[in-house]
Chain A
Amino acid sequence: MNVKILVADDDYDNRTIIKQVLEAAGYQVLEAVNGLEAIETALAQNPVLILMDLSMPKLNGWEAAKRIKQTPQIAGIPIFAFTAHALTGDEVRAKAAGCDDYISKPCVPREVLKKVRDCLMRDEGCRPNDPAGPPPAEGRG
């Protein structure tokens, strides 16, 4: 199974929980522990979706999302931000940085899975190993 999803989070537990539920569903999970690693992994592996924590060391999630959306090869990859709970305004800032959706933390693994599946089904262009690569960035960010 080659559908690759990148999970970027400096917190081991969150990364592991998401990884386990996605792997159990048959996805291949790539991991990154900071924003820089997330960008490098995205460039190298071209995942179909990025799940990204916002507060990470070295380069935070907002900044990483902004840079990804500015990098043509990977600008089309949907990004879901993990946000702290609703009131803090994280989601507004996440969307401003170019994230496509958000998942509030702490998250329920099966709900994350559902969100991932919905997105990948909706987004025909996100098929794995598509030789044409992800669709162009218009309409996003």
Chain B
Amino acid sequence: MFDVENDNNHPPSCAPGQAAVKPKLMVVDDELGFRDLVVRVFSDDYDVVGAANGEEALQKAGARDIDVVISDMTMPKLGGLDMLKALKEIDPNIEVILVTGYATLETAVESMKRGAYDYIAKPFDIEKLARLVARALDKRRLSRQVDELKEINRFKSEFLANMSHELRTPMNAILGYTSLHLDRLYGEVTQKQEDALKRVEAAGKNLLNLINSILDLSKIAAGRMPVYLEEFQLKELIDEVLSMMDCLAKGKKLNLEASVPKDMLVRSDKTKLKQILINLVNNAIKFTSSGGVFIEVSQSPEQTLFNIRVRDTGIGVKIEDLPLLFQEFKQLDASPTREYGGTGLGLVISRKLARLMGGDIGVESVAEAGSTFTVTLPLESDLRPQSVESVFKPAVAGCRGKIFLAIDDDPEVLTLLRDSLQGSGYEFAGALNAEEGIAMARELKPFAITLDIMMPHKDGWSTLQFMKNDPELRKIPTIILSIMDNKTLGYALGVTDYILKPFERGELLKKLKALDLGTQVDGSLKRTPRTVLVIDDEKNIAEHLKETLGAEGYTVENVANGSVALTRINAAPPDILFLDLMPQGSNGFEIIEAMEKDPKFKDTSIFILTARHLTLQETDYLQKRTEAVFQKGSKSLPEILGQVKKRLKELEAADER
């Protein structure tokens, strides 16, 4: 087991038996001084290796199993960015922290794009670097474990799929001989014998269903479920399903009806579609006690997809349970399953089969009123991934509510988001890549977008930059939804919010609702007015903050004259104070000291801006009392904005708690 809850200041404790092995850290910098510093600080907890340039680093990384790299950006021979790319090719799980003298947004974006864990700007606090290294190491360990688990999971599925024949063969004997007994092939049986044999038969059939379900899941997971496409009349298939299920429906006095166009030729996997429909109809009958089950078929306006809706008037599903419906081995309240029987795997398998065929299954339900399951499949299945993509796209014409767009390369995430939005009144649209996402954003004009960071081709950062430079798209509030925690960069690039995966449905809905309400009133966001006070005789920072934060509902005020600064601060303590160390007519240190003595400022976060070089003592003093110190000119405006916004978000999050 690994220790997840380490305090991030030290490397996580190792598993017993590996205790002696220190994690390997490599520091790459052409300055010997910096290498020595890192060796001094880290060698207690890490096995530290130094390299003077990118080429040397690559050689050493190839020979040793390096865990984390701290590297300078500008070096002779091979620079930080190119080295980063090469390192990732040697070991995709290696984590690299880049140290920059001039952190421009462009280099930051570029380094994150190439897979850096994070970047840190000089001058920095060594404690901060230590925390970053420890977190990077955690991430590496987790990624390695994920890789191992994936492999083990594949082996498991492979094994189960191989067991198929072996597991089913004995069932053949059990069910077969029981059946011969029941058919009186071996002579008359007594009533008691017959009852017992019937129980053997029923239990055998249940076990067989379970085995089949588990094997199906394993085969799908192991990628061993081939799709056989053939052309057939949909009506014929549905009629077959109806005749199979008719008896069951009649037994419960339910209507079982279908309305299917007479001539509708589709190209799909008939066996799998039949299994899906049998499953859905069987479920519908199982959970309905009066009324009936209705099958309806329709085509998408573009004639590329068809929908089969299986609607019932049964017990329905509670909204909060909808996302759980399709999760493996996660049954809803166990009681109905026990009451109604079944393995609870049918829906999971059905959805996976639908996806294999290039489609999907969705559900809408009202508790106590009934459920509707909709199978969507391409009419002419050629199994191109595009057909899956379009499944996540709502028909614009039929849209009832506001559209929310999610961009994520993982269809599972899109599905989870879509299911999470059930009952929220928002219409869902999903895009599996940046290009499609941008096109959908233009077409559908969503009220909000969530964006994943790690996507192939064009990643989230580039997508964000593109959208924020587009006059039409820049106004749409964008939330980053990622496992990567880099809020500063996100806010700097103009995102409205940042949600870490795994996300909670409640959190997402709350944030969407806030965006929705905010934009309805005045086109900008409505929130508790947070105040930012900038004390600086140069106007550009204040203006930049005003322009961006003001649009999001924050109050930004500028005081150019230091002598009135204290009076202004005392009158209404701001949430964030942006302070030039040497404003006209005052001294920044005096202002800080005055504020420190007064408890009413304990909640004010201070950011320092300075043009002059600070002494070690001054740096130390400021680090203890302020959020961050920005050297004028060393950081770009968006980055400063990013940090301020991150702090504002933290304050809001604290409010909500």
A residues with CB within 8 A of B? 11, 13-14, 17, 20-21, 24, 55, 84-89, 91-92, 105-110
B residues with CB within 8 A of A? 164-165, 168-169, 171-177, 179-180, 183, 185, 208, 212, 216, 219, 225-226, 228, 230, 271-272, 274-275, 353
Inter-subunit contact A89/B226 (CB<8 Å): yes
Q: Give the Cβ gap from A73 to chain B, nearest Cβ, in Å.
A: 32
Inter-subunit contact A84/B168 (CB<8 Å): yes
Quick one: which of A17, A24, A88 contacts B173, CB cutoff 8 A? A17
Q: How far is the CA of A84 from the CA of B185 in the complex (A)?
A: 25
Inter-subunit contact B225/A108 (CB<8 Å): no
Contact partners of A91 in chain B: CB under 8 A = 271
Inter-subunit contact B185/A24 (CB<8 Å): yes
Inter-subunit contact A106/B271 (CB<8 Å): no
- 10 more CB-based (< 8 A) A-B contacts, given A84-B164, A87-B212: A11-B172, A13-B176, A21-B180, A21-B185, A55-B165, A86-B271, A89-B228, A92-B228, A92-B271, A106-B208
Q: How far is the CA of A21 from the CA of B182 in the complex (A)?
A: 12
Q: How far is the CA of A91 from the CA of B175 in the complex (A)?
A: 21
A-B contact pairs, 5 of them (CB 8 A): A14-B172, A17-B179, A21-B185, A107-B176, A110-B179
Quick one: which of A13, A14, A87, A107 contacts B272, CB cutoff 8 A? A87
Contact partners of B179 in chain A: CB under 8 A = 17, 108-110
Q: Give the Cβ gap from A57 to chain B, nearest Cβ, in Å.
A: 13
With contacts A85-B212, A87-B272, A105-B168 known, is A13 near B173, CB below 8 A? yes
Inter-subunit contact A109/B271 (CB<8 Å): no
Quick one: which of A24, A87, A92, A106 contacts B172, CB cutoff 8 A? A106
Q: Chain A interface mostly helix, strand, loop or mixed?
A: helix
Q: Give the Cβ gap from B245 to chain A, nearest Cβ, in Å.
A: 16
Contact partners of B230 in chain A: CB under 8 A = 92
With contacts A21-B185, A86-B271, A92-B271 known, is A108 near B164, CB below 8 A? no
With contacts A20-B185, A86-B271, A88-B219 known, is A106 near B168, CB below 8 A? yes
Q: Give the Cβ gap from B58 to chain A, nearest Cβ, in Å.
A: 47
Closest to A113 in B: B183
Inter-subunit contact A85/B168 (CB<8 Å): yes
Inter-subunit contact A21/B183 (CB<8 Å): yes
Closest to B278 in A: A86
Contact partners of B212 in chain A: CB under 8 A = 85, 87
Closest to B272 in A: A87
Contact partners of A17 in chain B: CB under 8 A = 172-173, 176-177, 179-180
Q: How far is the CA of A110 from the CA of B182 in the complex (A)?
A: 10
Closest to B230 in A: A92
Closest to A106 in B: B172
Inter-subunit contact A106/B216 (CB<8 Å): no
With contacts A108-B175, A109-B176 known, is A87 near B169, CB below 8 A? no
Contact partners of B225 in chain A: CB under 8 A = 87
Contact partners of A20 in chain B: CB under 8 A = 180, 185
Closest to B271 in A: A86
Q: Give the Cβ gap from B213 to chain A, nearest Cβ, in Å.
A: 10
Contact partners of A84 in chain B: CB under 8 A = 164-165, 168
Q: Give the Cβ gap from B243 to chain A, nearest Cβ, in Å.
A: 16
8 tightest CB-CB pairs across the interface, nearest first? A17-B176, A13-B173, A106-B172, A92-B228, A106-B175, A106-B171, A109-B179, A85-B212
With contacts A84-B164, A84-B165, A88-B164 known, is A105 near B172, CB below 8 A? yes
With contacts A86-B275, A88-B219, A89-B228 known, is A107 near B185, CB below 8 A? no
